[in-house]
Amino acid sequence: PVSVFENPKAASLSVAKRIGDLIKEKQKNNTHAVLGLATGATPIAVYAELVRMHKEEGLSFKNVITFNLDEYYPMQPDAAQSYVSFMNEHLFAHIDIDKNNINIPDGTLSLEEIPAFCLAYEKKIGDVGGLDIQILGIGRTGHIGFNEPGSAPNSGTRLVTLDDLTRRDAARDFGGKSFVPTKAITMGIGTIFKAREIILMAWNRKKASIIKKAVEGEISGEVPATYLQLSEHVEFILDKDAASELT
């Protein structure tokens, strides 16, 4: 299903509310909530609202376990552009989550260590009962996570090569495209698919044409987000601009 909101703020508040409700429901049952998280511009207002709910409404994250979708490779966690830094800045530093419950792909591994790390990441998600909610943005290549065109629908967590357009879109954060890593470690399409709820968010005109392809286009590895059409528990949360090319 597709939900279209007046603006990104209203859409973000609704997503944050769903996450907050899930966390509270799990607290009632004395269990944990497992969240799959994204970085980038799209989810920033969702995280801001979750921080507000923590500070003003006492929402606790003590029972929350998180798995981020991806990290650049190579990447030091304390670098300004790392997704570790992003998550600390926008969410983790401001809430009461147990640091041991935070999982982000490790950009410091040697190439030889990556396959075992990726298998362990998948296993860890399974061991805590799987992802309750996976939050996604979408890249202009149609990537979800860093699953670029050509990704297989059953792909797992792995090292991938970033598309040139993705690196161009990241150039501003790095002070030039040549400084953007060429690779990343990302959860796979198959990993994302196993989440019990998948929420893909997109805002702004510049996402309108890729959203049209993702929602209405032929299902194909050329636009990895089209695989989401095959899922029965995916929701596209859009603002009017991102939805503007849908028929």
Binding residues for ligand F6R, per CB under 6 A?
A: 38-42, 69-70, 137-139, 143-146
Supply the minimum distance, in Å, between the C-beta of residue 145 and ligand F6R: 4
Query: Do residues 142 and 226 make contact, with C-beta atoms less than 8 angstroms apart?
Result: yes
Nearer to ligand F6R (CB atom), residue 11 or residue 138:
138
Task: Classify the C-alpha dihedral 107-110-114-116 as positive or negative.
Answer: negative
Supply the minimum distance, in Å, between the C-beta of residue 149 and ligand F6R: 13
Supply the minimum distance, in Å, between the C-beta of residue 143 and ligand F6R: 5
Nearer to ligand F6R (CB atom), residue 27 or residue 217:
217
Catalytic pick from 49, 71, 122, 148? 148
Residue 232 bears catalytic tag: no
CA distance linking residue 215 with residue 221, whole number of Å = 14
Supply the minimum distance, in Å, between the C-beta of residue 57 and ligand F6R: 26
Nearer to ligand F6R (CB atom), residue 63 or residue 215:
215
CA distance linking residue 114 with residue 244, whole number of Å = 40
Give the residue numbers marked as catalytic. 148
